[in-house]
Structure 1
Amino acid sequence: MSAAHDNIVEHEKSHPQLDGTSSPGTGSTAASYEGNLDNLLKEALYPDDSYTADGTYWADLPRRERYAFISKQQGAEAKREFAWIWQMFKQDPMQPFRTYWRKYVLTGMGLFVEGYVLFSIGNLSALFKSAWPTCWGSYTDCNKNWVDAVTYLEIIGIIVGQCVVGYEGDWIGRKFGLCQDALIMLIGSILLTGVWSNNLNAWVIVYGWSLFIYGIGVGGEYPMTGTKALESNVEGPTGARDDRLHRGRNVVGAFLMQGWGQVFNQCILLISLMIFHSGDTTPPFSPRSAQATYRVQFGLAVIVHLWLFYHRLYKVNDADTQIQAAKRKQNTSGYDIHSLRLLNSHYWGRLVATAGAWFANDVFFYGTKVFSSTFIGIIHPGASLVVTWEYNLINLAVSLCGYYLAFLLIDNKFYGRRNMQQVGFAFDFFIYLFAAIFFNELRVNGAPIAAFQFMYHFSSFWNQFGPNCVSFLVAGECFPASIRSTAHGFSAACGKLGALLPTVVFHYLDDRSKFWFAMPFGALGFLVTAVFLPDTTGLDLREQERYWRCVRAGHPEQYHGIAIHPQHLSWYERVVLNRNRFYDPVQDRIDRIDELRVMYESHLIAREDATGASYDPDHSFISADVERYFALEQPVDKRVKRQITKEAAIRGEFAANEKVHRSALEESLGGRV
């Protein structure tokens, strides 16, 4: 352990109060020594962004003290970030924008092109009706079922991609899923750009199946982008701090690229139509103008998809760190079937929350997006195609405001995920209820129709500043790494079933009934969120992994940490299952020190193993202070001969893959690990 000894010597030079002159003895000297020794683990056990100076978790504080702690911590963090941004700006005015690009734009680029391509389908349908009225209007040249199937095939493809790629992400890896998605979307975008036939009905059929292929890639983007953004840069103390304070922002920052994709697409459509229609925006539009417009907007997407595939294949190298670490700790090489079974039995309530809320949300979100021209036609009767697109652009701009407000407040401990989703569902429910009740009165010219337009845009704002952003985040955040992609994909697929529902039903409803139909799903989303969704705001994801290791071992009662704190459990888990009964901060401190000891010993073995042990991101948490603590702690506490107990082995699966340490564990437990 020469390397550890060198670190300790170096640390003593910078900590003279802990050198040989302060050796343990009696009275105040011994007490001072013990206190200084405990301070070595303070950052590892009680990070100041989540704990008070005396080691009290922020959610355990009385309401007034909690308010003061959170306000002070968030104020200090905001000040630190502004100073950091200002420092970057002074060195290079473009550096903050490059940082934003790398952190959020590159991660969410798959969702950008998804928003660009798929949400153009509703806009293009209105253009096709003007250019080919006998196909998309009277259906004399085209089969009505195939025209309607264009939307169905798009959503079915997304569902297939979400289920399949979500499974692959946990089985093969995140990078494989990311590259596969980019390749499938590239192929789909090429097909969409080049599709052609002299027969309109045949063209519609090929167009629909091209959307199905593209949709498979889009479906995979949801679990892959979500888990990639969730698991990025969480190694080490700095990464762990960012994970606790800004994890939601990191995910929503990538997700809101979907909104930018929609905005860019609407702008490209407007510009292209004016160019190819000789600057005139008056219908009818010729087939040649329509063909050129839709091919140019899809062709631009091909270029972005080509770059995206290259970037993910050659530049993304850290996507699999967390899933590989989880597999090593759980001693699995393929898909973790055991965790999947436990997901269905132990976390089924969370699946109801994430899948049910996503289903309810997509009835609103996709219903109003796929049928955006219909809804805008309701609030602006007789509007031309270009006017409809202009109104849609306004609606998208309002939606972006909702995205960015969610981006700013998603990690606020006063508001957080669960409250944000409930408030968003409540506003959508009441807006649609009001619109349905006063439908005829609101369509009168003047102030009433202006109020109707405001309500439609306002519902889009609350949809983004609420369930649309939150459902994307919590679908992965509520579950452990080994099955995170699967759970996210399943939840997203249930959401797309909600998207499929209005595309089928709205064809058979009058305009007023569309509002009556969508309105109850706001209440459904509010209900499943209130009952089954835990609030993971501020929760360290490493604590969730600690709890999950105990669950996998069949001993959830041996976990006593903050993952089962009442603040981070759903109403169902807290009141019905009473999972917080094992929460014990004092015992958890002992457990965490035991786990740090196992991690420390494993770290020494990995560092000194001549054959080279597998990299474990947990080793990055072994600081010089932690090394010093364990080098000094055992002689001081006279626990040199202390054996690692069976409980510590269960909670300390950190080193299960390292042969030397595994042999030591087997020997200490009489051959049972």
Structure 2
Amino acid sequence: MALKVLSALDGAATQLYHFSAILIAGMGFFTDAYDLFCIPPVSNLLGKIYYKDGLLPIHVKALVNGTALCGALAGQLFFGWLGDRMGRKKVYGITLKLMVVTSIASGFSLGRSRESVLTCLCFFRFWLGFGVGGDYPLSATIMSEYANTKTRGAFMAAVFAMQGLGIIAGSIVAIIVSACFGIRHSIPSDMQQDMVWRIILMFGAVPAGLTYYWRMKMPETARYTALVARNARQAAADMSKVLHVHIEEDENSVLRIETLDEQFGLFSRDFVKHHGLQLLGTTSTWFFVDVAFYSSNLLQIDLYRNTGLLQKSSEYKNPVDEVIESAKAQALVALWGTLPGYVFTIFLIDRIGRRLIQLVGFFFMSAFLFALAIPYKHWVKESKGGFIAIHSLILFFTNFGPNTTTFIVPAELFPARLRSTCHGISAAAGKAGALTGLVGFLIALENKDKQHGPSGVGEKDHLSGEGQRNALIILAVASSLGFVCSFIIPETMGRSLEENEVQVSRSAAEVELQDET
């Protein structure tokens, strides 16, 4: 028999508290995206300031971009586990504080030499990523446990869609900060250039700081309080205030989930039997989509420079002009493909299901990546408009597809006592995919330098046309593998979180019975 408080949550009509939860959890993702994606324009400016040739060396660029991803991977594992031990709300506040402090600290990266400044920056970027990573499992788990059954997917997709707004915000801040210094049409001093990148990074503390008060006012989720902390009466009292209805729960009532052992742990045989295949599905699909998603973002400026839509780095006389133009391109790409993909997901995910959207997304990502890569010279030389159209479609189906669904599904499949942990493991697999893509590009760039030398094409920090084509083919293969792995994941639409767990356990038991017979 289900607890009354959980039944009330599952059947609750959409009301103000749902939108409040979306905004509070979503602002965390807004901050996450800002902090992770404001670094590409900043890294170009760092090269202008600290290196004579104006280009950030490949290995330094990889470190500046990659340290936050490494921190995010560690944070997803640690805070995901901690969220199941201490509660979602307590850990939620810790991650937000960490993001505020490290965003500000990144802007105060100081030293007597460029090496010490960049080392300091990478140090703070790691811990910033650590906090950002923790926000993934906690935001997903909190929203899934607050939402009703009917519109849970849309609410979670809306939280994740704030990532697109965060990317755009990062671009807008970069443009405004440059304009405020009054240096758009003049050569800025070294001090002005230095201030620009520091202010851009520090601004990430603003949305995180504004959200902290409201996060701390949110009560702990009823599912954690009732099912993990085993305090059904407190869960009913908390949700009575949220739902504005009276819920009276019998303290002795216990939710019975039909599993062989309700208390099995993460590393037990029972977990592997009942949820191991699903965890393999959520980790593998998130890994493959992030190989494509983050790699596409790393390659994005190179693609546009190669097609002539952006000038090459060496052609900018004013260093801050490059920041502004790169920021504009990043914002336009988000508006063309990223945001529309999120919007379609919000409106359709509770109508056609998570699994279908993920399969469709991976399929068209693969198809369009191959279509862009195989006749790559044709697009670059003869049809720039077609190139932009296909690239926008890739971004659209990434977000109307696996980039959103891989965030949602892990928060719906696993038991309450392991939900945050399993989501953190799945998200960490995604960051491992992002790092794989980053390392792959680093190797490609190093090989290019060995073949052509530093002056071979005048742009030693960017992939050649052939290198871009090969990279796109690799991304297409990764997307194809993600499509195959998506068949492992069951559909979670239209059922409560507890019903999803029971369904998965029943499926595992049926397989085991068939094997025995």
- TM-score range relative to shorter protein: 0.7 to 0.9
TM-fit CA distance, 1:372: 2.8
Query: Which residue of structure 2 lines up, in the alignment, with residue 534 of structure 1?
Result: 490
Query: Which residue of structure 2 lines up, in the alignment, with residue 134 of structure 1?
Result: 52
- How far apart, CA to CA, are the structure 2 residues paired with 1:419 and 1:547? 18
Structure 2 CA distance for partners of 1:201 and 1:397, relative to 1, 3 Å: same
- How far apart, CA to CA, are the structure 2 residues paired with 1:521 and 1:508? 18
TM-fit CA distance, 1:337: 5.5
Mapping of residues 20-59 of structure 1, within 5 Å: none
TM-fit CA distance, 1:146: 4.2
- How far apart, CA to CA, are the structure 2 residues paired with 1:372 and 1:163? 29
Query: Which residue of structure 2 lines up, in the alignment, with residue 389 of structure 1?
Result: 327
CA contact (8 A) 2:264 2:271 kept: no
The question of 1:485 aligning with 2:403 is answered: no
- How far apart, CA to CA, are the structure 2 residues paired with 1:167 and 1:135? 45
SS in 2 for 1:477: helix
TM-fit CA distance, 1:138: 6.5
CA contact (8 A) 1:368 1:375 kept: no
- How far apart, CA to CA, are the structure 2 residues paired with 1:390 and 1:575? 54
Percent identity, aligned pairs only, is 25
Give the aligned CA root-mean-square deviation in angstroms: 3.1
- How far apart, CA to CA, are the structure 1 residues paired with 2:468 and 2:189? 29
Structure 1: segments with no counterpart, 5+ residues: 1-42, 51-76, 85-97, 234-242, 557-563, 565-572, 580-673
AA at the equivalent of 2:175 = L
Higher mean C-alpha deviation, range 483-492 or range 533-542: 533-542
Mapping of residues 55-66 of structure 1, within 5 Å: none
TM-fit CA distance, 1:231: 0.3
The question of 1:418 aligning with 2:321 is answered: no
Structure 2 CA distance for partners of 1:135 and 1:155, relative to 1, 3 Å: farther
The question of 1:184 aligning with 2:98 is answered: yes
- How far apart, CA to CA, are the structure 1 residues paired with 2:477 and 2:70? 24
- How far apart, CA to CA, are the structure 2 residues paired with 1:522 and 1:312? 36
The question of 1:278 aligning with 2:192 is answered: no
Query: Which residue of structure 2 lines up, in the alignment, with residue 316 of structure 1?
Result: 218
- How far apart, CA to CA, are the structure 2 residues paired with 1:224 and 1:138? 35
Mapping of residues 571-590 of structure 1, within 5 Å: none
- How far apart, CA to CA, are the structure 1 residues paired with 2:512 and 2:367? 32
The question of 1:203 aligning with 2:117 is answered: yes
Structure 2 CA distance for partners of 1:164 and 1:101, relative to 1, 3 Å: same
Corresponding residue to 1:443 among 372, 380, 387: 380
- How far apart, CA to CA, are the structure 2 residues paired with 1:474 and 1:456? 26
The question of 1:358 aligning with 2:263 is answered: no
Query: Which residue of structure 2 lines up, in the alignment, with residue 409 of structure 1?
Result: 348
The question of 1:119 aligning with 2:46 is answered: no
TM-fit CA distance, 1:438: 0.4
Corresponding residue to 1:109 among 14, 20, 27: 27
Query: Which residue of structure 2 lines up, in the alignment, with residue 589 of structure 1?
Result: none
Mapping of residues 171-250 of structure 1, within 5 Å: 171-233=85-147, 243-250=148-155
TM-fit CA distance, 1:420: 0.2
Higher mean C-alpha deviation, range 351-360 or range 297-306: 297-306
SS in 2 for 1:444: helix
Can you list the C-alpha shifts for 1:367-408, whole angstroms capped at 9, x where unaligned? 112343223223335526233332221111121111111011
Structure 2: segments with no counterpart, 5+ residues: 231-253, 257-261, 317-321, 445-466
Mapping of residues 608-647 of structure 1, within 5 Å: none
Higher mean C-alpha deviation, range 149-158 or range 270-279: 270-279
TM-fit CA distance, 1:340: 5.0
AA at the equivalent of 2:227 = A
- How far apart, CA to CA, are the structure 2 residues paired with 1:403 and 1:422? 16
Corresponding residue to 1:325 among 226, 229, 232: 226
Structure 2 CA distance for partners of 1:543 and 1:428, relative to 1, 3 Å: same
TM-fit CA distance, 1:106: 1.4
Structure 2 CA distance for partners of 1:540 and 1:101, relative to 1, 3 Å: closer
Mapping of residues 454-469 of structure 1, within 5 Å: 454-469=389-404
CA contact (8 A) 2:44 2:55 kept: no
Query: Which residue of structure 2 lines up, in the alignment, with residue 644 of structure 1?
Result: none
Structure 2 CA distance for partners of 1:382 and 1:406, relative to 1, 3 Å: closer
SS in 2 for 1:187: helix
TM-fit CA distance, 1:254: 1.0
TM-fit CA distance, 1:577: 5.7
The question of 1:344 aligning with 2:272 is answered: yes
SS in 2 for 1:347: helix
CA contact (8 A) 1:122 1:371 kept: no
- How far apart, CA to CA, are the structure 2 residues paired with 1:299 and 1:387? 21
- How far apart, CA to CA, are the structure 1 residues paired with 2:114 and 2:471? 30
Query: Which residue of structure 1 lines up, in the alignment, with residue 190 of structure 2?
Result: 287
- How far apart, CA to CA, are the structure 2 residues paired with 1:511 and 1:128? 24
AA at the equivalent of 2:473 = W
Query: Which residue of structure 2 lines up, in the alignment, with residue 159 of structure 1?
Result: 73
The question of 1:379 aligning with 2:290 is answered: no
TM-score computed with the length of structure 1 as normaliser: 0.62
SS in 2 for 1:443: helix
Structure 2 CA distance for partners of 1:157 and 1:339, relative to 1, 3 Å: closer
TM-fit CA distance, 1:145: 3.8
Query: Which residue of structure 2 lines up, in the alignment, with residue 297 of structure 1?
Result: 200
TM-fit CA distance, 1:359: 0.3
- How far apart, CA to CA, are the structure 2 residues paired with 1:138 and 1:361? 27
CA contact (8 A) 1:256 1:400 kept: yes
- How far apart, CA to CA, are the structure 1 residues paired with 2:17 and 2:501? 29
- How far apart, CA to CA, are the structure 1 residues paired with 2:211 and 2:21? 15
Query: Which residue of structure 1 lines up, in the alignment, with residue 500 of structure 2?
Result: 544
The question of 1:367 aligning with 2:295 is answered: yes
Can you list the C-alpha shifts for 1:261-308, whole angstroms capped at 9, x where unaligned? 11111111112223325332x8x7653333222222233322332233
Query: Which residue of structure 2 lines up, in the alignment, with residue 39 of structure 1?
Result: none
- How far apart, CA to CA, are the structure 1 residues paired with 2:54 and 2:78? 33
TM-fit CA distance, 1:433: 0.7
- How far apart, CA to CA, are the structure 1 residues paired with 2:120 and 2:55? 19
Higher mean C-alpha deviation, range 123-132 or range 162-171: 123-132
Corresponding residue to 2:443 among 477, 491, 508: 508
SS in 2 for 1:318: coil
Query: Which residue of structure 2 lines up, in the alignment, with residue 69 of structure 1?
Result: none
The question of 1:257 aligning with 2:257 is answered: no
TM-fit CA distance, 1:119: 0.7
Can you list the C-alpha shifts for 1:75-106, whole angstroms capped at 9, x where unaligned? xx9xx98xx9xxxxxxxxxxxxx878524221
- How far apart, CA to CA, are the structure 1 residues paired with 2:54 and 2:214? 38
- How far apart, CA to CA, are the structure 2 residues paired with 1:340 and 1:542? 21
The aligned length equals 448
CA contact (8 A) 2:227 2:416 kept: yes
- How far apart, CA to CA, are the structure 2 residues paired with 1:418 and 1:575? 21
Larger radius of gyration: 1
AA at the equivalent of 2:219 = N
TM-fit CA distance, 1:228: 0.4
- How far apart, CA to CA, are the structure 2 residues paired with 1:286 and 1:374? 27
Mapping of residues 642-653 of structure 1, within 5 Å: none
- How far apart, CA to CA, are the structure 2 residues paired with 1:340 and 1:322? 22
Query: Which residue of structure 1 lines up, in the alignment, with residue 481 of structure 2?
Result: 524
CA contact (8 A) 2:304 2:310 kept: no
The question of 1:475 aligning with 2:431 is answered: no
The one of the two structures with greater contact order (alpha-carbon pairs below 8 A, sep at least 6) is 2
Corresponding residue to 1:495 among 430, 435, 460: 430
CA contact (8 A) 1:178 1:224 kept: yes
Query: Which residue of structure 1 lines up, in the alignment, with residue 174 of structure 2?
Result: 269
- How far apart, CA to CA, are the structure 2 residues paired with 1:275 and 1:578? 69
Structure 2 CA distance for partners of 1:463 and 1:577, relative to 1, 3 Å: farther
Structure 1: which 4+ aligned runs deviate by more than 4 Å? 98-101, 545-548, 573-579
Query: Which residue of structure 2 lines up, in the alignment, with residue 13 of structure 1?
Result: none
